[in-house]
Structure 1
């Protein structure tokens, strides 16, 4: 996403500018071309050599240098930039940008460029909340600038409040989002992605669940965001940070997952069901913790409503029985209900909801995946063997097959889950267009 992207990074004179060193380093490592422009006051906090070392490029600051080349340089930077990001953005520079002042290299480039503008304000809390600063930020938003809200925490003054520069990972997410919404191939699309596993309660402290980490679903949602889509991410309990800029809906059970999906897909272009949704749930969860002396639990799975052989919640000989009933099949229900069939795409044509499913298998991967593709009337099915050490739950890589309705099967090599996510959206994009 950032490979060969030309990013002009403005550095203003606040104590938080030391954090921008790490941002420049991470952008450069991701393959971006980073030109740094420093204000004169930023030079008092971090020397230009530091940023030059991290970016592997010259640092610009003096609009009035004696050779006269700065006049040509600020136009070149303005025209070459694919994004102008100002990190940190001080109250002073925000005011200049809002009112069109051009008294230094950074503000001159800002006024001359057609690239999207991203601001990450960082300052003392009362400076940030001051009506003048808020009015200036509001004016810049109206003109299309994207504002990364400052974090709440301990400030350089020692006080606690709003004004901290967010961490590098969040800033990188904001940069990717802004670039995607400006030139991504999914701009104007709304997509729904499910991730993680569900937890079906046995009692208030125990549940029936699975090993899903959510990594694949989060990678899919992040890739869609980076391509400019409006993303709804419906997630079961995971230990992953929320991707910046997506609409996050947290759920626990399969029933909650179904409700969230049904409420989200009516105006969506695409649904990617990568979550590991539990097929069964305890029919009658205990309202209180089941005590150990009741016995060790055993599981009785049932797709029907037949009567339990034992009384749930009580000992049955040397064991304990939990009666399981089948959860709703979300993708199958969608196929029956035909939700999204009357949505108009960007070209004005009626287009159905594109539905992508996943099949995590332990045996007979090809046969089981083909059956699922047909049964659920999917546009694309992604299947993998979760018994492999380099694929499936918890791994950072995945070995998948793509199954298409025309019986075409693509056998992809082992790759990072971010690469699988990109491949999925490449296939979905062809279905959309």
Structure 2
């Protein structure tokens, strides 16, 4: 790694900065796409990797928080939607394993983080969904549900798809593509869930037996299911239909579902969940109502989180670790174009953000630039600069800052004098903010 000489001068502007946390401040990270799926690496805090499915035809990949994108996979026939679902290994950062499930039941696999893909030939049947979890350092336990043009069978493998065992034939009432989900917990607390249009099936014994989790009338077809990130402690899972969110605090007991007062307007509700303050959960819900709703108390009460660009919201995802960045897919009314947005505002993990309003000026720059930021909470701040490939060029501790408007002067010498795009990341505790820097 080449050494980069950076000169910093710390400047204090000495003015306090107020923040309104009721609404999100959205940043556009991708344009000219129709987001049909957003997938965040389980190790996003380390590898900064996410994938976006564009109109079920193109899979895009970013390894630097969405600043630059490359095509990971393109459909063979671009005239029709081809890709159904995408699944990453729980150890994706280490093993680079992910799967693409096609609507015809074929499965493609990558072991190099999406650079190359290979068609799996030794699979039991046409696959509709995949869910996996690590068991030991050597083995990964993967489940596959087959429900396309045949019986709904649940298969399992413990040796990276080399051999399969039929776990159970599952009678799923579905005319479409049932989803397979698994709680990301230890085996003792594991639940396997199958989400179909009109029923939710759960298993607590590794798929050997399933039971219907609800016996009360839901108003419309189901659209999403999400487990609490701390399911082994709170036994909570969420299900959405086309209008409401339903909550169960008893591991899916059929008699204990309650309706949350959400009341969307007859479009599929998508869910995303993150840990929150006061041992609660922050729940996000979005539909085609051009608004995202957020609950700080696990779904008891809701507020509007933002109405980005007055466009239809299609997909939502949130990182698993602080600072819980929210990614949102939006499309125009005629579904011909859209964008991917992100918000780094707090979502319940903090009372006040430590850092606000981070920017470089001038930008583009030659010779030097000022990295300006507002400190809301006193603390130690570090600055890391890396290139478009994610290579770290420099990491430096800037010291402890008091509240107020601050800045660091960066001298663009050595390798940083070369024309190109760079990224400056400020870190305060678990919170980080990254901005682009163009050198001309």
Instruction: Give your verdict on TM over 0.5.
Output: no
Q: Which has the higher helix share?
A: 1
Q: TM-score, normalised on structure 1?
A: 0.29
Q: Which has the higher strand share?
A: 2
- Over alpha carbons, which structure has the higher Rg? 1
Larger RCO (alpha carbons 8 Å, 6+ apart):
2
